[in-house]
Structure 1
Amino acid sequence: MTTEPRTLRASEWDVWYDKLMSAFAVTKSPEERELDRSLTEPERSIGVWDGDEPVGTAGLLSFRMAVPGGAVVPTAGVTMVSVAATHRRRGVLRSMMRRQLEDLRASGREPLVGLTASEPEIYGRFGYGLAARALWADIDTGRVALELPRELAADAARLRLRQVDEAAVVRDACEAVYARRVPERPGMLERGPGWERKPLLDAERLRGGASPLRAVLALRDGEPVGFARYAVRPGWSARGSAEAEVVLRDLEALDPAAHAALWQFLWGIDLTTVLRVSARPLDDPWQYLVSDVRRCGASWRDGLFLRPVEVGAALAARSYARPVDVVIEVEDDFCPWNTGRWRLSGDDKGAVCAPTREPADLSLSVRELGAAYLGGTSLAALERAGLVREARPGSGALREAATAFLSDVEPWLPHTF
């Protein structure tokens, strides 16, 4: 065999996809499979083949992602990555990762590329840094109260809630709210054609015994200003008391009142005692309104891993929280065209970034640059970990850059890909 990847032919999709499913030991429903087929971009998908058998799979997806400052930037998404168990440790994955990045650079379409990881330890060596985390919680709603300030409670009470047993019925209303939210939070993805179906996937194997997917809309003067999609998993104690769970799939709202009204609704569904929250923003507002945070079982997990394809274009694509003018020395062993010194000058209106021969103020690897890019990971924290170096300690360059890079909201990836 050769480890040289080649572009997927449309006629090979089924065998290529079956190998991917085998690697993950998953059998998807016909609905899931059909959606995956429709979202695959064959011309951006590759495989490594041993004769007629695919032994490595990987794909790229074309997204637009919000970055600090509100711009929505073309970003590639790495997806469907697998290596057959029979062909591990032969350079298959490395060859596919290199081919993807070289293709991205040649196309010039996207300055950024991101992924979600089944095994996070894999991707750091290819320059991907953890740029966005996600919040998970199992909230004991029988013992934890949601305590709203008086004015917020009054505003929430003025909204009308509309409950729908089939979430797909209000898909367009939900997508309109979601689209308005995208520029407000780094890491959020515009949903192109077909991607509006992703949050509505409701195959039996995904429910875990819960009900079909439901929805509730928050309406102000008849217009949707928020939504939640959820399911209910029934349960009863040995003594016959109800112990059902609310399983939240996603929630978006345009203002604090809509947020509050939707969380109140989820908190108060009859016969339920637990609200299961998964893959939410780290700064989700409900955390600041609960009576007992310990009984919420909150924890975080990795979300989006990100790396620049082209350092200069990536740093110039976002804006910065305060004026910044620093020279950053970047090390990128996997994409050597990024290695070197880059002068970044910018503020909240925009930025420019170009190669320079000036002395470096800061030094870091491309992985740390990816981790800090969306503003959720502080360059100062990375410096304390020994991963960022200030050329002249005490010069103020680290503080200047660290403050400039930060976002006023936590970055968040709303769904996997």
Structure 2
Amino acid sequence: MAKDSASDHASDTGRPELRVLRQGEWDTWFDTLIRAFGGVPEPSEERELWDSLTELDRSLGAWDGDTCVGTAGAFSFRLTVPGGASVPAAGVTMVSVAATHRRRGVLTSMMRRQLDDVREWGWPLAVLTASEPEIYGRFGYGVGTFHVSAEIDTSRVRLSVPPGTDDVRLRYAVPADVLDVCEAVYARKVSGRPGMLARLPGWERLGLLDAESERKGASPLQCVLAERIGGSEATSVEGGGGRREGGEVVGYARFHVKPEWDANGPKGSVHLRDAQALDPAAQAALWRFLFDIDLTSTVKAYGRPMDEAWQYQVSDIRRCALRVRDSLHVRLVEVGAALEARTYQAPVDVVFEVEDAFCPWNSGRWRLSGDAKGASCERTTDAADLSLSVRELGAAYLGGVSLGALGDAGRVRELRRGALAEASAGFASTVAPWLPHGF
């Protein structure tokens, strides 16, 4: 999950030493982070996973003598952008400042060093999730994606499914035994939705974390596969009663079941951890299964895409208790390279006047010309059509936040009539951007 807990106001005295994390320092560094989040230890399997995934040469520590008082890391990600390209992005994580060292400029110095490093690495983007969203706007991050969570009353809500749903077969499988086929489904989904992350080796383990202390009375992690019999990619999977042949795996769901009873009978709940499907019928089959699990009357789903199909298939959306929350915060480290990396839904030819006090190499005028086939973005001396900060460009970058809405909020200023509508249409995405998991 995402890690950040930091706040400071720069001063000129008492600033700790900032340097790249050294071999053998990870435990001290991570303990500093945990303490900043309240000091409750994480389960051993989760701690071990973060240890294995941490990239020491992309991790920073602030040290006051021998004491670690600040942490910040970055993962080497590839992020899907509109048009389907997979773009290098720094996944900013593990950010904290010790409570004893607030207001000494520690956070600002780490953010400064980190963005300078990301630029040196040649990556056009930095992304993060925030425990406190107000922290990162001053460093140029804008909220670029949202997600929806739901608590669905399945005793009252029914699902209307599309044709072909009954042709999909579902079967239970041991989560670890079918990890490869689930990851293959995920990999096929990545290029189709902005905001998704191509999973590097090791990251597949995140979906299997299942510490008993984290279940809060729910079952161990369960998995159901969706298969299409006679598919072109038949699979053979170990699990349950032994080796068995199946059809093409077209989706999966990982979940926990929490049994509960009262005087009226069962009122258990299904806690969805992850679900992916390659087509509408497979997706509907999985959600119908979750709705129909015996002895349950609620499905709790967290961090789902804003446009996921089940929202348009339920009989009563009010009984789904939807809640929207910010997810991925996006920072354009190199404006020109970032805007060239994506495509644009409608033709756009616009000059931006960009303000970026924290990364001044981005400030100035940029002409963006692009369409669904590609784009160019270069410096120009032409008159500006729109004026905005790099924070607004980050918010709009993945297509989930409208430049027009930002204009209505006073965050984008139109200098040429019609330019805002043109840019808004170009930046839009037909698929809502979505971050599938934290980091």
**TM-score interval, smaller chain:** over 0.9
More displaced stretch, 21-30 vs 116-125: 21-30
- Tell me how far 1:208 sits from its aligned partner: 1.9
**Deviation digits for residues 383-408 of structure 1 (CA, Å, limit 9, x no counterpart):** 0000000013xx21111100000000
Q: Percent identity?
A: 63
* Equivalent in the alignment of 1:229: 254
Q: Distance in 2 between matches of 1:233 and 1:331?
A: 50
Asked if the contact 1:111–1:314 (Cα under 8 Å) also holds between the matched residues in 2, the reply is yes
Q: Distance in 1 between matches of 2:362 and 2:267?
A: 55
* Equivalent in the alignment of 2:213: 205
* Equivalent in the alignment of 1:399: 421
* Equivalent in the alignment of 1:410: 432
**Deviation digits for residues 223-249 of structure 1 (CA, Å, limit 9, x no counterpart):** 100110000011001x15000000000
Counterpart of 1:138 in 2: which secondary structure?
strand
The one-letter amino acid of 1:397's match is: A
Q: Distance in 2 between matches of 1:50 and 1:391?
A: 49
- Tell me how far 1:4 sits from its aligned partner: 4.1
Q: Distance in 2 between matches of 1:230 and 1:186?
A: 24
**Deviation digits for residues 314-340 of structure 1 (CA, Å, limit 9, x no counterpart):** 000000001111001110111000000
Q: Which of the numbers 309, 316, 332 marks the counterpart of 1:292?
A: 316
Aligned residues: 408
Q: Distance in 2 between matches of 1:208 and 1:397?
A: 52
* Equivalent in the alignment of 1:119: 132
TM-score, structure 2 length as denominator?
Answer: 0.92
The one-letter amino acid of 2:353's match is: E
Counterpart of 2:109 in 1: which secondary structure?
helix
Counterpart of 1:103 in 2: which secondary structure?
helix
Change (3 A) 1:105 1:4: farther
Map 1:240-389; keep pairs closer than 5 Å: 240-389=264-413
Gaps of 5+ in 2: 1-13, 230-246
Counterpart of 2:191 in 1: which secondary structure?
helix
* Equivalent in the alignment of 1:31: 45
* Equivalent in the alignment of 1:155: 164
1:128 aligns with 2:141: yes
Q: Distance in 2 between matches of 1:356 and 1:200?
A: 49
Counterpart of 2:431 in 1: which secondary structure?
coil
- Tell me how far 1:205 sits from its aligned partner: 2.6
More displaced stretch, 202-211 vs 226-235: 202-211
* Equivalent in the alignment of 2:66: 52
Q: Which of the numbers 108, 113, 138 marks the counterpart of 1:94?
A: 108
1:182 aligns with 2:196: no
Q: Which of the numbers 4, 14, 17 marks the counterpart of 2:30?
A: 17
- Tell me how far 1:163 sits from its aligned partner: 1.1
Q: Which of the numbers 171, 195, 210 marks the counterpart of 2:203?
A: 195
RMSD: 0.9
Gaps of 5+ in 1: none
Asked if the contact 1:3–1:91 (Cα under 8 Å) also holds between the matched residues in 2, the reply is no
The one-letter amino acid of 2:128's match is: L
Asked if the contact 2:32–2:68 (Cα under 8 Å) also holds between the matched residues in 1, the reply is yes
- Tell me how far 1:29 sits from its aligned partner: 1.4
Asked if the contact 2:146–2:328 (Cα under 8 Å) also holds between the matched residues in 1, the reply is yes
Q: Distance in 2 between matches of 1:3 and 1:102?
A: 19
The one-letter amino acid of 1:37's match is: D
Counterpart of 1:320 in 2: which secondary structure?
coil
Asked if the contact 1:186–1:410 (Cα under 8 Å) also holds between the matched residues in 2, the reply is yes
The one-letter amino acid of 1:119's match is: E
Asked if the contact 2:15–2:105 (Cα under 8 Å) also holds between the matched residues in 1, the reply is no
Asked if the contact 1:4–1:95 (Cα under 8 Å) also holds between the matched residues in 2, the reply is no
Q: Distance in 2 between matches of 1:171 and 1:273?
A: 28
- Tell me how far 1:3 sits from its aligned partner: 3.4
The one-letter amino acid of 2:30's match is: Y
Q: Which of the numbers 215, 218, 225 marks the counterpart of 2:226?
A: 218
Asked if the contact 2:15–2:104 (Cα under 8 Å) also holds between the matched residues in 1, the reply is no
Q: Distance in 2 between matches of 1:379 and 1:55?
A: 39
- Tell me how far 1:30 sits from its aligned partner: 1.4
More displaced stretch, 26-35 vs 297-306: 26-35
Q: Distance in 2 between matches of 1:276 and 1:342?
A: 45
The one-letter amino acid of 1:8's match is: L
1:70 aligns with 2:92: no
1:82 aligns with 2:106: no
